[in-house]
Amino acid sequence: MQTKAFTTKQNKGLLTRIISEATIFNPYKMKSVKVKALWDTGATCSVISNTIAKRILLKKICYAEMRHANGIERVPVFVTGIKLPNQVIIPELTVLSCKPIHEFDLIIGMDIIAKGDFAITGKNGNTKFSFRMPSIADIDFTT
């Protein structure tokens, strides 16, 4: 797989959350939608909103328990595809689904983040976020 990367730089000070665009698509039908995605290192797996699952005609494959700040919830599970800003396509990914999450329709969890190299810097009081996939090198600030 060819390595692809993207970087977003915000000159608005230090950010409290990392947001990017992404495309969610139905891997079995020609349906897709661009969404705002929240990158969440505290999420074990990726999550899409029920609204998007319905819009692109995803079929529920089962239910799973989702643990979050408000407790435990039984939620539908779908198989979807995701295209990241660096044009990396994850053709089939099992995701949980929930009610819309503020202004986000996708939470990118560690099931995606751990497959790449992920870095956040705060130089000069501004946030810069970079992601490349697949992972090609260790990032170690102590050497």
Mean pLDDT in residue range 11-33: 91
Question: Over the stretch 43-92, which tens digit does the pLDDT of each residue have?
Answer: 999 999 999 999 999 999 999 999 887 889 999 999 999 999 988 899 99
Would you state the CATH architecture of domain 4-133? Answer: Beta Barrel (2.40)
pTM of the model: 0.91
101 burial (CB, 10 Å; 0-12 / 13-18 / 19+) is middle
**Helix (H, G, I), strand (E, B), or coil: what is residue 86?**
coil
| Cα atoms in the Cβ-side hemisphere of radius 13 Å centred on 48 | 29
The Cα–Cα gap between 123 and 84 comes to 25
Q: Is the peptide bond before 27 cis (omega within 30 degrees of 0)?
A: no
